[in-house]
Structure 1
Amino acid sequence: MDLTRDPHYSIRDAADSVREYNHRTIDGPEPFYGEHQLINYAPPATGEAVGALYALFERLPQAVDQTAAAVRHVEEQQAIRMANGDEPSEAVSRLLRDLIDAKQSILLAQTHLRSAVQVSSNMAGHWLDDDQLEDADTNA
C-alpha cells in the first residue's frame, strides 16, 4: 500500500483490477478451474470471487464519504471554478447529491452480496480419489 501517491490513483488501480477480472472471465468459467484446470476447483474459487466482490463493496461507502468530504472542503475554500460556466455551489450540490445516491446504491448492493457470500461460502467441488482424478474430464 502506497500512502504517498495521489488518492485518485488508488481508485483507478481498483478499477483496473476489476477490468482485469472481467477480461479474465469474459469467455467462460475456465479461469476458475485453477492451475490444473479442474472443474472441482471452481465452486470454492467462485465463492472466493463473491467474497472479494463483497469486500470491494464494503470499502466503497467510506471511499465515497471521504471523496465527498474533500469536495466539501474544496468548495468551502472557494477553490472551485466550473469550466462550463455553471455556478460552483450549485454544481457541488448536485455532485454531493449524486454521491449520496451512489452510496445508498452501494449499501443495497452490499446487502445482496452479503447474502451471496453466505451461500457461496458453503460451495465446494466433489472429492475425487486419485484414480478417478486420472480418468476425469477436467475441462467439464
Structure 2
Amino acid sequence: MDLTRDPHRSIRDAADNIREYNHRTINGPEVFYGEHQLINHAPPAIGEAVGALYVLFERLPQAVDQTAAAVRHVEEQHAIRMANGDETDEAVSRLLRSLIDARQSMLVAQTHLRSAVQVSSKMAGHWLDDEIEDADTNV
C-alpha cells in the first residue's frame, strides 16, 4: 500500500484492476480452472471472486464518505468555483446528494453480495475420485 500517492490514483488503480478482471473473464469461465486447467478448481475460485466483490463493496462506502467529507471541507473554505458558471452551492449540493445515493446503492449491493458469499463460500469442485465413480456408474 502506497500512502504517498494522490488519493484519486488509488481509485483509478482499483478501477484498472476491475477492468483487468473483466478482460480476463470475458471469454468464459475457463480462466477459473486454474494453472492445470481443471474444472474442479473453478467452484472455489469463483467463490473467491464473489468474496472479493463483497470486500470491494464493503470498502466503497467509506471511500464515498471520505470523498464527500473532502468536498464539504473544500466548500466550507470557499475554494470551489464552477468552470461552467453554475452556482457553486447548488452544484455541490447535487454532487453530495449523488454521492449519498451512490452510497445507499452500494449498501444494497453489499446485502446481495453477502448472500452470494454465504452460498459461494461453500462451493467446491468434485474430487477426481468422485468423477471416476460417477463415470463407472454411468456405464
Per-residue displacement from partner, 1:98-133 (whole Å, max 9, x unpaired)? 0000000000000000000000000000001x8x78
**Matched residues, percent identical?**
86
1-side partners of 2:120 and 2:78: how far apart? 48
Residue in structure 1 matched with residue 122 of structure 2 by the alignment? 122
In structure 2, the partner of 1:108 is: 108
Pair 1:91 & 2:91 matched: yes
Distance 1:14 1:36 in 2: 28
Q: What residue ranges of structure 1 are gaps of 5+ in the alignment?
A: none
Name the structure 2 match of 1:16: 16
Structure with greater proportional helix content: 2
**1:24 shift after superposition:** 0.1
TM-score by length of 1: 0.92
Structure 1 runs of 4+ with >3 Å offset: none
Residues of 1 paired with 2:30 and 2:88: CA distance?
A: 49
SS in structure 1 of the partner of residue 49 of structure 2: helix
The normalised TM-score by structure 2 is 0.92
AA matched with 1:4 = T
Secondary structure at the aligned position of 1:35 is classed as: coil
Written as runs of structure 1 = structure 2, the 5 A alignment for 1:52-71 is 52-71=52-71
Equivalent-residue separation in structure 1 for 2:12 and 2:30 (angstroms): 27
CA distance in 2, matches of 1:118, 1:44: 13
